[in-house]
Amino acid sequence: MKKVFLFEALRAAINEEMAQNNKVFVIGEDVGHYGGSYKVTKDLHTKYGDLRLLDTPIAENSFTGLAIGAAMTGLSPIIEGMNMSFLLLAFNQISNNVGMLMYTSGGNYHLPLVIRGPGGIGKQLGPEHSQRLEAYFQGIPGLRIVACSTPYNAKGLLKAAIRSQNPVIFFEHVLLYNLQDNVPDEDYTLPLDKAEIVRQGKDVTLLTYSRMRYNVLQATKTLIEDNYDPEIIDLISLKPLDINTIKKSIEKTHRVIIVEECMKTGGIGAELIAQINETSFDLLDAPPIRLSSQDIPTPYNGKLEQATIIQPQQIIETVKQLCKV
């Protein structure tokens, strides 16, 4: 085991998979000589060359299309969005090609393709760089969506995504790249469709993912001091949702709160509530609650930006209120 930053864990995953499989390559803006906007591909071009770390013009629709064609011919591209918000410019390629080609070709084509990069609300990055695209991509059939949250799961999940024969949207949070944790030296992968039980508890189930994992953990420290016993689940897989793990937790706690950075309307929390009501309605002692970001473009102003995001104190107050029911 060694302690590494999250961006280093992602780089190690890409490096190891490129070393093992010469069909894997990275494509995007500044992924080669510059090393990626958050240094995830730093120095890899010196090892693998410019054609496997392929720097592109600022043309997301074009280089996403190029990667799709490469995947159709048997290569395994990793598309990096310098900021995932920029990939809205490639939304047509992602929705009409990445999600559909295996089906519309009658299974003749597979797309072993990963679309990854930084997203989420940073620190005063403004609305265009602070979008939460998981809600945009959630409705596209044929896509798998994963959100990493620790260096350990970032490496294991990315390696699994690269090896997958199906397309994966891989979300990294812009504020988690400098997070440090221990990562095994040996080769490992993690399942792309399983949630992680971060903490066992009996009073309430807290469902979260990505950066909000840490706001939930911070709130939990206070809740434990006040004699509450929350169970924390990091969703990791946003599509499909690991509803079996969620249901087993609700069977124990009978209460559920969803904490997300996504917008409230049409977000991951909305889908979670729908599936919880379908599978676990009779297990609940109170209606599910979702704590989501405000339905507004993220402000540039720092205080207003913080006001749009769920803070630990809001989680503490909601848990205490729900546990009285």
What confidence tens digit (pLDDT) does each residue in 8-66 have?
Answer: 999 999 999 999 999 999 999 999 999 999 999 999 999 999 999 999 999 999 999 99
Amino acid at 244: N
Q: In this structure, which topology does domain 196-322 adopt according to CATH?
A: Rossmann fold (3.40.50)
Would you state the structure tokens that stand for residue 126, as one six-digit string?
Answer: 């403004």
**What would the pLDDT profile of 237-255 be if each residue is shown by its tens digit?**
999 999 999 999 999 999 9
pLDDT tens digit sequence for 122-172:
899 888 889 889 999 999 999 999 999 999 999 999 999 999 999 999 999
pLDDT, averaged across the chain: 96
Ramachandran quadrant class, 187 (left: phi over 0; alpha: psi -120 to 50; beta: rest): beta
pLDDT of residue 22: 97
| Coarse DSSP helix, strand, coil percentages of the chain, rounded to the nearest 5 percent | 40, 20, 40
Distance CA 73, CA 90 (A): 20
* Residues labelled as active-site residues: 60, 129
Looking at the DSSP bridge assignments, the partners of residue 119 are 173
> 2-183: which CATH number, 3.30.460.10, 3.40.50.970, 3.40.50.150, 3.40.50.2300?
3.40.50.970
Look up the pTM and report it.
Answer: 0.96
Q: What's the confidence (pLDDT) of residue 163?
A: 98
Q: What is the pLDDT of residue 128?
A: 87
Q: Which residue, among 41, 52, 32, 43, has the nearest Cα to 10 in the 3D structure?
A: 41
How far is Cα 46 from Cα 191, in angstroms, rounded to an integer? 31
Structure-token pair, residue 83: 């900021």
So what's the pLDDT on residue 65?
97
Q: H helices within the chain, ranges in order?
A: 6-20, 44-48, 60-72, 91-93, 101-104, 134-138, 151-163, 212-225, 243-253, 268-280, 302-308, 312-322
Same fold, 2-183 and 196-322: yes
Tell whether the model's pLDDT for residue 325 goes beyond 80. Answer: no
Looking at residue 59, the DSSP 8-state letter turns out to be -
**CA pair distance 144, 139, nearest whole angstrom:** 11
Sequence letter at residue 47: K
Q: Phi and psi at residue 293, in whole multiples of 5°? A: -70, 160
pLDDT of residue 187: 96
C-alpha angle 100-97-121 in degrees, rounded to nearest 5: 105
Rounded Cα gap, residues 55 and 49, in angstroms: 11
**Among 309, 267, 2, residue whose Cα is nearest residue 147:** 267
Residue percentage of the chain with pLDDT more than 70: 100
What's the angle, vertex CA 154, arms to CA 80 and CA 261, rounded to 5? Answer: 80
What counts of helices (H) and strands (E) characterise the chain?
12, 14
Tokens, residue 156: 């294991």
Has residue 206 got a pLDDT over 90? yes
CA 282, distance to chain mean position in Å, is: 30
User: DSSP state, 87?
Assistant: G
The residue extents of the domains of the chain are: 2-183, 196-322
Averaged pLDDT, 80-87? 92
What integer is the mean pLDDT of 88-110? Answer: 94
Section 263-279 average pLDDT: 95
Asked if residue 273 lies in contact with residue 241, where contact means CB atoms within 8 angstroms, the answer is: no
